[in-house]
Amino acid sequence: MLRKPTSKETARKPNMREAILAAAEELFATNGFNAVSVRDIAQAAGANPGSVTYHFKTKDGLLLEIYRRHCGPMNLRRSELLAAAKRVRDLQDRLEAVVRAYVVPAFTSGSDLAGGGARFTRLRAVMSAEGNEVARKIIAQTFDDTSHAFIDAIHDSLPHIPRTDIVWRSHFLLGALYYSLVTPDRVSRLSRGEADGGDPANAIEQLVQATVAAFQAPALDQAVPAKRRPVVSSKT
Amino acid sequence: MLRKPTSKETARKPNMREAILAAAEELFATNGFNAVSVRDIAQAAGANPGSVTYHFKTKDGLLLEIYRRHCGPMNLRRSELLAAAKRVRDLQDRLEAVVRAYVVPAFTSGSDLAGGGARFTRLRAVMSAEGNEVARKIIAQTFDDTSHAFIDAIHDSLPHIPRTDIVWRSHFLLGALYYSLVTPDRVSRLSRGEADGGDPANAIEQLVQATVAAFQAPALDQAVPAKRRPVVSSKT
DNA sequence: TTATCTTTTGTACGATAGTACAAATCACAT
DNA sequence: ATGTGATTTGTACTATCGTACAAAAGATAA
């Protein structure tokens, strides 16, 4: 039998708590953790600084809650997309589908609650750059499983490439992904306005295309030995 | 006639100033700008907080001086390597040489004064993630020229690829580069110890190999249209 | 030595940080 | 309507921040 939810369970103004989370997410993602004060967050959310303490106890607690909010849904969505991608028969197509399954949820619109979202991905990028401790802990225990699943799936599509190389290349993928969300304006600037770095669809296509090719590159071990390495030494 | 340098020109203890710069560089690169206090820097350098103010006036001034120290030499070295790379006859080899010319100076040892260095690159990565204003200004006016030179050189090796695609892919390269320096341990972790993410030579080879392949990927425009896009929609 | 200039030290000031907490306010069950 | 627990507000405390500045120390030229 389902009962009416009591006031203990139903937040009266879920808007406030949610507004604080959203404001913090945005501010952290654009300015870093330490550059943003609790008062900044409260003001952006139209709340009182005390409210932040009430809902999340500490500033770290607020960050932790942001991660908790997103990690589950994001990994779920990635798993779904990965499972579907694995069912693609053609090896080349499957590789692309797997990469896409990894990339797409990271770019989905920021206001999207459950999809992960570009804003949360940008937040993760910034936290990883700052070496934030809270983020580091929750990331390692939440995303490594997913990362391994993707690496395995990619390895299945490219059996002749050593796993080590695939790890490196998927690492590069994540770096490129992060950076695309952190500094999209740089793309617009360098392309002299011919490309819009902020357009997610554009970024996804470019990233997927480039990454698939990178994964398909010959393995490192047998690729280099016979060839001379050109133009590395210090003197021109 | 050359005269003995007066005390006005010769710093008596260049060690202190240099030690502060080095300490700040390291701390900023690992923790971000706002997480590090002037007192932290002074302590790490074995100096007094007041010394920092004396030499660099403000905390921003200190960051600015770090950039000034590195930008010139780094761009010079890149230009040299790029010029040499451009002289490589074979198109495939030339592309690799150009990419290497871009990557190598960014990874050279941190204690190396004039080469740019991994530490300074990591610093730039962190500052860009934090959206640091001082860094943004000096970066845009110092590195965009270099970036364009590399993009042009790559375009010369790949005339059939639209410039827009090359801009995107070089953007991905920089993101991968940054991330490799920011979180090298992740590579070690995900490869279960089979790769050392902190080994520069390793990282360089992996990055160059992957990036060359990415640049060589078919152009986006003509690559996609006839094909159905597999497995993107929300439902599995 | 003494005078002068550079560098380092010690300390202090105002601003702002995170957080705690009591009072006020609100929404709802009764 | 009223009481009750959840939330919001206002404010205050302590710590630490960036920076200023006077005094001490060190080095050099005469």
A55-76: average pLDDT: 94
Give the residue extent of every domain in chain A: 15-57, 70-216
How far apart are alpha carbons A163 and B191 in whole angstroms?
7
Question: Which of the pair, A220 or B36, is modelled with greater confidence?
Answer: B36
Q: Does B91 lie at the interface with A, CB-CB under 8 angstroms?
A: no
Q: What integer pLDDT is reported at residue A113 of this predicted model?
A: 57
Which bases of chain D are contacted by protein, using any atom under 7 A from a CB? 5-12, 16-22, 26-29
pLDDT(B113) > 50: yes
Q: What integer pLDDT is reported at residue B15 of this predicted model?
A: 86
Lowest-pLDDT choice from A82-86, B79-83, B139-143: B139-143
Q: Measured between beta carbons, which residues in chain A are less than 8 angstroms from residue B116?
A: none
* CA-based nearest distance A50→chain B, Å: 23
Between CA A59 and C1' D3 the distance (Å) reads 34
How many Cα neighbours within 13 Å face the side chain of A73?
Answer: 17
CB B71 within 8 A of CB B95: no
Q: Measured between beta carbons, which residues in chain A are less than 8 angstroms from residue B147?
A: 190
Q: What is the dihedral of CA B111, B43, B35, A75, to 10 degrees?
A: 60
Q: Measured between beta carbons, which residues in chain B are less than 8 angstroms from residue A163?
A: 191, 194
Q: Does B25 lie at the interface with A, CB-CB under 8 angstroms?
A: no
CB A194 within 8 A of CB A85: no
Q: Specify which residue's alpha carbon is closest to the C1' of nucleotide C26.
A: A12
B15-57 CATH? 1.10.10.60
Q: What Cα–Cα distance (Å) separates residue A110 from each residue in A107, A138, A183? A: 8, 21, 16
Between CA B118 and C1' D19 the distance (Å) reads 31
Q: Does B63 lie at the interface with A, CB-CB under 8 angstroms?
A: no
Hey, is B230 helix, strand or coil? coil
* CA-based nearest distance B4→chain A, Å: 33
3-state secondary structure string across A152-200? HHHHHHCCCCCHHHHHHHHHHHHHHHHHHHHCHHHHHHHCCCCCCCCCH
B66-88: average pLDDT: 93
Q: Is the CB of B229 under 7 A from strand D?
A: no
pLDDT(B218) > 60: yes
Q: Measured between beta carbons, which residues in chain A are less than 8 angstroms from residue B176?
A: 171-173, 175-176, 179
Using pLDDT thresholds of 50, 70 and 90, give the confidence band for residue A116. Answer: low
B163-201 CB burial, b ≥16 within 10 A, e <16: bbbbbbbbbbbbbbbbbbbbbbebbbbbbeeebebeebe
Q: What is the dihedral of CA B170, B175, B178, B179, to 10 degrees?
A: -140
Question: Which of the pair, A119 or B224, is modelled with greater confidence?
Answer: A119
Between CA A150 and C1' C18 the distance (Å) reads 40
Using pLDDT thresholds of 50, 70 and 90, give the confidence band for residue B180. Answer: very high
User: Using CB atoms, which residue from A170, A206, A231 is nearest to B220?
Assistant: A206
Q: Is the CB of B49 under 7 A from strand C?
A: yes
Measured over the CA atoms of residue A91, residue A97, residue A102 and residue A107, the dihedral's sign is: positive
In terms of CA atoms, which chain B residue is nearest residue A195?
B164
A70-216 CATH? 1.10.357.10
Chain centre distance of CA B200: 13
The string of pLDDT tens digits covering residues A71-104 is 888 888 899 999 999 999 999 999 999 999 999 9
Kindly report the CA angle at B12 between B11 and B15, in degrees rounded to 5? 85
Percent of chain B exceeding pLDDT 90 equals 76
Q: What integer pLDDT is reported at residue B32 of this predicted model?
A: 98
Q: Is the CB of A32 under 7 A from strand C?
A: no
How far apart are alpha carbons A214 and A20 in whole angstroms?
40
Q: Measured between beta carbons, which residues in chain B are less than 8 angstroms from residue A177?
A: 175
Chain centre distance of CA B56: 24
Which residues, numbered 143 to 162 in chain A, qualify as contacts with chain B under a Cβ-Cβ cut-off of 8 Å?
144, 147-148, 151
